[in-house]
């Protein structure tokens, strides 16, 4: 669990002045837009949704620098000032962002905060039953925080962002509504494309030789799933029994693909792929992007379509 951040506002301001911190985004953080509202986000999906809806009417900042692993992030004093000075702060919430509660509780700022987890009914990482197609590690259940992996939930998140933007900046509400409608149409098309692929597939089973931040995705589209780790577990190595179980599953069900997630060392995927005939492919969770992905103009929708291409291979 993250340490609770206990830094007074006066200390933050002193440090930020020494560092030249009043810039509106982190050292390598991404910012879009011009004059207008200041929006600060903790994860790439929120950043991407906000910039698509706000357009040129806001400056949108992402606290995570490209390539930073979201679960190891802790805010710097500069990040704290950035949040304090913004108009609209969008965060995910949950176990990975417990530091946010302290920021909000101790803040003297007037920013509005939106917790994305409030836009969806949270699912437990582990069901602890004998349901076919679910991975069971025996760990204590926790809530899965990766709600954005379901495009349908993303529409609900975007609706909450749009509503807040219209409230904060009513003069530009028509622009926000138009951009929102255009963007959720793209999300709807993505959802339909995934559903069609799954419905027409030969199998409905996926194997993740890695962590599994895709429960909302799998549940939405009716996919059975097996993984080396539940959620974004802090475990570094699965048990030998778990690896053997996944290898057996791949061989018995003739699974053509084992997935790994971005920023993974891919060791488990390599082991299972080498022990079977399965191809190793990426399934991107979109927590954050690398610098190369940023430079290439990748976004949530483009990465999810790449996931869909790999999913189609896995299911056929």
Q: Which residues contact 225 (CB under 8 A, 6 or more apart)?
A: 133, 134, 135, 205, 206, 207, 208, 212, 214, 215, 218
146: exposed, middle or buried (Cβ count in 10 Å: 0-12, 13-18, 19+):
buried
Phi then psi for residue 32, to 5 deg, are -130, 160
Instruction: Look over the chain and give the mean of its residue pLDDT values, rounded to a whole number.
Output: 86
Provide the pLDDT for residue 26: 38
**Distance from C-alpha of 298 to C-alpha of 220, rounded to nearest angstrom:** 24
At 22, is the pLDDT very low, low, confident or very high (cuts 50, 70, 90)? very low
Residue ranges per domain, the chain? 9-145, 202-315
Q: Which of 120-124, 201-205, 306-310 has the weakest average pLDDT? A: 120-124
CATH architecture of 202-315: 3-Layer(aba) Sandwich (3.40)
Provide the pLDDT for residue 72: 80
State mean pLDDT over 38-42.
97
20 pLDDT higher than 80:
no
Contact between residue 257 and residue 281 where contact means Cβ atoms under 8 Å apart: yes
**What is the topology classification, in CATH, of domain 9-145?**
Rossmann fold (3.40.50)
**Distance from C-alpha of 53 to C-alpha of 163, rounded to nearest angstrom:** 10
143's tokens: 């809530």
For 295, half-sphere exposure in the C-beta direction (CA atoms, 13 angstrom radius) is 5
The dihedral through the CA atoms of 79, 85, 90, 94 has a sign that is: positive
Tokens 């896995």, located at residue = 314
State pTM to two decimals: 0.85
Phi then psi for residue 206, to 5 deg, are -130, 145
Same fold, 9-145 and 202-315: yes
Q: Which of 1-5, 182-186, 204-208, 224-228 has the weakest average pLDDT? A: 1-5
Percent of the chain with pLDDT over 70: 82
Q: Which residue did the predictor score with more confidence, 23 or 146?
A: 146
Provide the pLDDT for residue 5: 37
209 pLDDT higher than 50:
yes
310 pLDDT higher than 80:
yes
């Amino acid at each position: 669990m993250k340490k609770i951040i206990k830094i007074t506002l006066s200390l933050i301001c002193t440090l930020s002045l020494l560092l030249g911190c009043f810039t509106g985004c982190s050292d390598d953080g991404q910012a879009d837009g011009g004059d207008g509202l200041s929006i600060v986000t903790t994860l790439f999906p929120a950043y991407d949704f906000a910039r698509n809806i706000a357009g040129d009417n806001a400056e949108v900042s992402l606290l995570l620098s490209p390539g930073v692993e979201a679960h190891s992030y802790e805010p710097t004093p500069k990040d704290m000032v950035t949040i304090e000075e913004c108009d609209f702060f969008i965060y995910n919430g949950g176990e990975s962002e417990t530091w946010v509660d302290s920021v909000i509780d101790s803040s003297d700022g007037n920013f509005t905060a939106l917790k994305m987890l409030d836009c969806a009914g949270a699912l437990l990482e582990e069901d602890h039953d004998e349901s076919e197609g679910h991975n069971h590690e025996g760990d204590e259940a926790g809530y899965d925080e990766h709600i954005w992996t379901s495009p349908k939930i993303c529409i609900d998140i975007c609706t909450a962002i749009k509503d807040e933007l219209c409230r904060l900046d009513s003069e530009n509400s028509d622009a926000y509504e138009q951009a929102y409608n255009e963007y959720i149409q793209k999300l709807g098309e993505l959802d339909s494309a995934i559903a069609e692929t799954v419905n027409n597939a030969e199998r409905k089973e996926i194997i993740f030789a890695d962590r599994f931040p895709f429960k909302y995705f799998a549940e939405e589209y009716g996919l059975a799933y097996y993984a080396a780790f539940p959620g974004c577990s802090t475990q570094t190595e699965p048990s030998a029994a778990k690896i053997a179980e996944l290898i057996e599953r791949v061989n018995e069900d003739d699974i053509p693909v084992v997935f790994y997630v971005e920023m993974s060392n891919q060791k488990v995927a390599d082991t299972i792929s080498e022990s079977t005939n399965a191809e190793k492919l990426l399934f991107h969770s979109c927590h954050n992007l690398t610098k190369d992905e940023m430079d290439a103009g990748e976004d949530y929708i483009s990465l999810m379509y790449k996931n869909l291409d790999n999913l189609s291979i896995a299911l056929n």
